[in-house]
Amino acid sequence: MMHGDNAPIEPALLKSLTDFLSFRGPDAREVCLDGAVGMGHTLLRATYEAKTERQPASLEGRYRIVADARLDAREELIDELKRAKRNLCSNAADCDLILQAYAAWGTPCIDRLRGDFSFALWDARHKQLFCARDHFGIKPFYYAQLGGVFLCSNTLNCIRLHPNVKGELNEPAVGDFLLFGLNCDNATTVFRDIQRLPPAHSLTVSSRGMQVKCYWAPPTDGRIRYAKPQEYVENFDSIFEKAVADRLRTERAGILLSGGLDSSSVAVVAKELSARNAFAAKIRGYTHVYESLIPDRDGDFAREVGKFLGIPLKFIVMDDVQLFERWDDPESTWPEPLDSPFPTAISDACRDISADCRVLFSGEGSDNLMDFQMWPYVRDLRRRSEWRQLFTDVANYLWARPFPWRGIHVRAMRLVAKDPDHPVYPPWLAPDFVRRAHLAERWKEQAKLPKSWKAHPIHPRGYGSLSLPQWTHLFEQEDPGVTGHPVETRYPFLDLRMVNFLLAIPPFPWFFKKALLREAMAGRLPERVRTRPKTPVQGDPVRAQIERTGSAKLETMPFTPELDRYIERSALAVPHAKMNAAQLTVSLRPYCLNIWLQSARRIGYNIRAEARNG
C-alpha cells in the first residue's frame, strides 16, 4: 500500500489486509510501515530455503520487498550476484535473491530472474516501487490506482478489502465471461477499480507516475540443430530434470497424475531425483476419476504408473459432485466468476491435498509446446534452401503419417454445423448490454488468430498459444487466492529453459506424436503408458450429471436483479441432457454469473465493513 501524497499508512487497515491473507500463508505473518508505504505478508514455507525466510524482507536499510516467489536456476543467479560483488549465502531465500539482484542491477534485474514470481519492491532512496510478474503469469498480481493510493497484492479479494475500492463491475470483462467463459484481457479484472498485471510485465510507481512495461516475449529466433538424433533426447532430458529439480526443493510434493504421458513423465523425473537426493522429497500422486458417471480409464493407467514408480496414489472420485453444489454457502466464494458448475469440487480437492503437501506438480504445457505442425517447418527449410533435409523429412513424414480421417470428419461436421466443440454465440444476451460492451465485435475479434502467431517460423501455433489468456486464467484458478487452500501448483514444462529449447528444435520428428518425450521416457515408464495416445475424456460429466439428477436445482435457483443488466431471462433455456457440450457450456454461464454476483456482493459488504472496523 502506497500513498502518493506522503500521508502515513493506517496501521490497523494494513494489519486487517494482512490478516485476511492468513489462509494462504499459515506459517508467519508480519507487517512493515515506512511512512507512506506499508507492506504485509503471510508466509507459506514451500521450499527448503524458506525455513529461515522472513517477509517483508529488507536490505541495507534501503530496499524492502514482499514476494510470492520461487526462483529457477538459483546457482547461476547466485554466481552472477557474487561476480557483481554482492555478499550472500547459497541458501538465501528467493525473496532475498530478488532484493540482491535489484541492489546490483536496478530494474533491469528482471531480465536475470527465472521462475514463478510476483513481487513489490520499495526503493527508499529513489522513492520508487518496482513490481513484476513472471514470464507466464503463474503467480498472480493485482493492483489498484485510486487517486493518491496505490494497492497491490497476489490476492484479488485482498485489494477489495480496502475501503476506497468500489464494487462496480468492468462490463467488457463480464461480456468476455458470458461469451468465452473468461476475461480475455490480461490487463483487467471483473472489477473496474482493480487491474491485473499481465504476464512478463513490470510496473513502476514513483513521483513520475505509473509505468507498465513488457520485459519479455517468447523467442522466435532460436535455432538448435544437433548432428545426432540422440542429442535432442539427451539435452531435453537434461533440461527437464533441471526444471523438475528446481520445483522439488520441498519435503513433500504431490503430482496431478492422470495416467497420461505428460504427468507420468513429471512423476518419473521427480521420483528419480528424490531417490538420488540426500533430502529426498516424499512424493504422492492424485488422480481425479469417474467410477460410474462416464467411461474413464485414467485411474487404471495412473494406478499402473504409481505401482511401476513406487508412488502412493490417492483417487479423488468425482461421480457424486453435484451441479452448483453448496452454491449458497457463504464460505464458497470466488474472486471472479468461474465457468464451471463444479466450483466447490476444485476447492475440496485442494483442501484434501493441502493436508498432505504444499507443492503440487502439473503436466500442463507439453501439449502446447509440442503442438505438431509440419508445413511451416517445410516452408522454412525451403526458404533456407536446405533441400536434402526437406526431402528427407517430408518423405519420412508422409510415410509415418496416418490418413487424416479425423481431420476430414471434423471439417465435415463443421460444414453442417454439428461440431460439438464449435463455439456457440449466446442467444440470451441483453441487447443493451451487447451494444454497451460491443460484444458482437468482440465475438468476431476473438474468432481471428492474431497476426503475432505467425511470428515464429516453424512453431507458429505453439508460439502463439503461449500468449492465450487461458493460461493466466488456469494459473489463477489453481492459486491459493482462488482455491482457498495453501497448495502451490508448479509446471515443469513451462520452465523458461524448456520453452526456449522446444521453440528452437525442428518439429519433425520430435513433436510428431510427441516422439521426443516418448523417447526420453523409454524404459522409465510402463510401455502401455509411454505409447498411450492422447486420449480425451470419454463423455461429458456435466451432461451425465444432468441425465442422472435432472435440472430441478437450476429451475428453482433465485436470480439476482443485477443479472438483468446482462441477460434476458426470458430467452434462457434450462440446460438438458440433449444439448451438446458447447450448448451446455453456454447455457450454464448465466447461472455461473448469477451465483457469483450474489456471493461477490455479499462478500464485498463484509469485506468493507471489516476494513472500516480496522
Instruction: Look at residues 515, 539, 563 and tell me which one is the last residue of a structural domain.
Output: 539
pLDDT at 201 over 60: yes
Neighbour-count burial for 155-169, b at 16+ CB within 10 Å, e otherwise: bbbbbbbbeebeeeb
Please, which pLDDT band fits residue 602 given cuts at 50, 70 and 90? low
8 within a domain of the structure (yes/no): yes
Q: What is the mean pLDDT of residues 147-174?
A: 94
Instruction: Give the pLDDT confidence score for residue 419 in this predicted structure.
Output: 56
Residues 212 and 92 placed together within one structural domain of the fold: yes
177 within a domain of the structure (yes/no): no
Residues 528 and 402 placed together within one structural domain of the fold: no
Please, which pLDDT band fits residue 552 given cuts at 50, 70 and 90? confident
Instruction: Identify the CATH number of the domain in which residue 24 sits.
Output: 3.60.20.10
More confident call, 485 vs 602: 485
551 within a domain of the structure (yes/no): no
Residues 470 and 532 placed together within one structural domain of the fold: yes
Instruction: Give the pLDDT confidence score for residue 406 in this predicted structure.
Output: 53
Q: What is the pLDDT of residues 35-54, one digit of tens each?
A: 899 999 999 999 999 999 99
pLDDT at 480 over 90: yes
pLDDT at 454 over 60: yes
Please, which pLDDT band fits residue 555 given cuts at 50, 70 and 90? confident
Instruction: Look at residues 216, 251, 266 and tell me which one is the last residue of a structural domain.
Output: 216
Instruction: Give the pLDDT confidence score for residue 376 in this predicted structure.
Output: 96
pLDDT at 614 over 50: no
pLDDT at 581 over 80: yes
Q: What is the pLDDT of residues 252-305, one digit of tens each?
A: 999 999 999 999 999 999 999 998 876 678 999 999 999 999 998 999 999 999
Question: pLDDT over 70 for what percent of the chain?
Answer: 94
Alpha helices in 494-565 (DSSP H): 496-502, 515-520, 527-530, 541-549, 552-556
Query: For 77-136, what is the HEC assignment?
Result: HHHHHHHCCCCCCCCCCHHHHHHHHHHHHCHHHHHHCCEEEEEEEEECCCCEEEEEECCC
Residues 233 and 310 placed together within one structural domain of the fold: yes
Beta-strand pair 252-256/282-289? parallel
Q: What is the pLDDT of residues 493-527, one digit of tens each?
A: 999 999 999 999 999 999 999 999 999 999 999 99
Confirm if 187 and 196 have CB atoms less than 8 A apart: yes
Residues 364 and 235 placed together within one structural domain of the fold: yes
Beta-strand pair 313-317/2-3? unpaired
Neighbour-count burial for 344-380, b at 16+ CB within 10 Å, e otherwise: bbbbbbbeebbebbbbbbbbbbbbbbbbbbbebbbeb
pLDDT at 345 over 90: no
Residues 400 and 340 placed together within one structural domain of the fold: no
Instruction: Give the pLDDT confidence score for residue 609 in this predicted structure.
Output: 43
Instruction: Give the pLDDT confidence score for residue 379 in this predicted structure.
Output: 96
Residues 85 and 202 placed together within one structural domain of the fold: yes
Residues 24 and 128 placed together within one structural domain of the fold: yes
Q: Read out DSSP for 419-468?
A: -TTS----TTB-HHHHHHTTHHHHHHHHHSPPGGGGGSSS-HHHHHHTT-
Q: How many domains does the chain have?
A: 3
Please give the grid coordinates belonging to residue 574: 434450462
Lowest-confidence segment of 222-226, 288-292, 325-329 by average pLDDT: 325-329
170 within a domain of the structure (yes/no): no
174 within a domain of the structure (yes/no): no
Instruction: Give the pLDDT confidence score for residue 278 in this predicted structure.
Output: 64
Instruction: Give the pLDDT confidence score for residue 611 in this predicted structure.
Output: 43
Lowest-confidence segment of 223-232, 245-254, 595-604 by average pLDDT: 595-604
Q: What is the mean pLDDT of residues 472-478?
A: 95
361 within a domain of the structure (yes/no): yes
Residues 342 and 384 placed together within one structural domain of the fold: no
Residues 397 and 522 placed together within one structural domain of the fold: no
User: The dihedral of CA 105, 132, 54, 14: what is its sign?
Assistant: positive
Check residue 21 and report its DSSP letter. G
Residues 267 and 205 placed together within one structural domain of the fold: no
Q: What is the mean pLDDT of residues 550-557?
A: 84
pLDDT at 17 over 70: yes
pLDDT at 416 over 80: no
pLDDT, averaged across the chain: 91
Residues 58 and 112 placed together within one structural domain of the fold: yes
301 within a domain of the structure (yes/no): yes
Instruction: Identify the CATH number of the domain in which residue 305 sits.
Output: 3.40.50.620
414 within a domain of the structure (yes/no): no
Domain that holds residue 277: 229-370+459-539
Instruction: Look at residues 216, 244, 279 and tell me which one is the last residue of a structural domain.
Output: 216
